Amino acid sequence: MAPFHIIVENPYLRRAFALTFPFAFIITYILIMYHILPEVQFFRLGGIMLAYFFPPAGKESMIPLGIALGIPWYFVALSIALVDVASSMFLVWNFDLALKIPLLGSWINRFVEGGGKIISRHRWLEGLYFFGLVGFIMFPLQGSGGVGGSLLGRILGLKKLEVLAAVTLGAFIGCFAIAIGVEYILIILEKSLLLGLMVILVAVTVLGSYLITRYNRRKKMGDHDPRESFPADDIRQ
């Protein structure tokens, strides 16, 4: 514990750790995947992970796509979940720097400014706090990835480690639930083409309705100062 204590107490080491650890974390995972997966699957998985960073890509689309490309469902789910975890670590520890990153900074400001309306649309978030955020991350709601979930967690008043824990738990449950659901549909297709197509039709209808609803609500934003929800960066908070 002594080395970690030194990092926590030294502001320069703390900043260096906060900047480098999220990248080291995800790079280490990618290197592990490089030695586990065949080359074709590895590069496909890398493309899925990269695409997940950019809207409108979300777990509800990237996970089925990865499985359709032949990547094992558990690796797809794990990879997307870890992207959420790594992005959450970077944001909650480096919020002041994230605001200065082109595109990301402006997106963060817009998201946090609309945080009040997100909470007003999902009242259960405000009442349940930690578990409400876990539920928000689990389901493919608007802005429910690692970045959006981290911002919303801080708006709800959660501490940084609580936000990280909620994002991690919600990301793993949500990603594996989607992956298992897709795998189950593929099993049904193998047994009965007609039944499988019916299940897919229902899933596409539900997803399409959700996407249309999300699009219609996208511009309904409220007022909020993002800096009020994020105190001076400290990995201990």
Q: What is the pLDDT of residues 136-164, one digit of tens each?
A: 788 755 545 788 888 888 777 788 899 99
* Mean pLDDT value of segment 30-50: 95
pLDDT at 99: 80
Give Cα separations from 58 to 51, 94, 164, 167 (angstroms).
9, 23, 19, 15
pLDDT at 48: 94
Give the Cα separation of 194 and 76 in Å (integer). 27
Structural tokens at position 140: 């493919």
> What contacts 155, CB < 8 A, 6 or more positions away?
112, 115, 116, 119, 224, 229
Does residue 122 have a pLDDT over 70?
no
Alpha helices in the chain (DSSP H): 2-9, 11-36, 39-51, 59-68, 73-93, 95-98, 104-113, 115-121, 123-128, 130-138, 146-155, 160-191, 193-217, 226-229
pLDDT at 83: 94
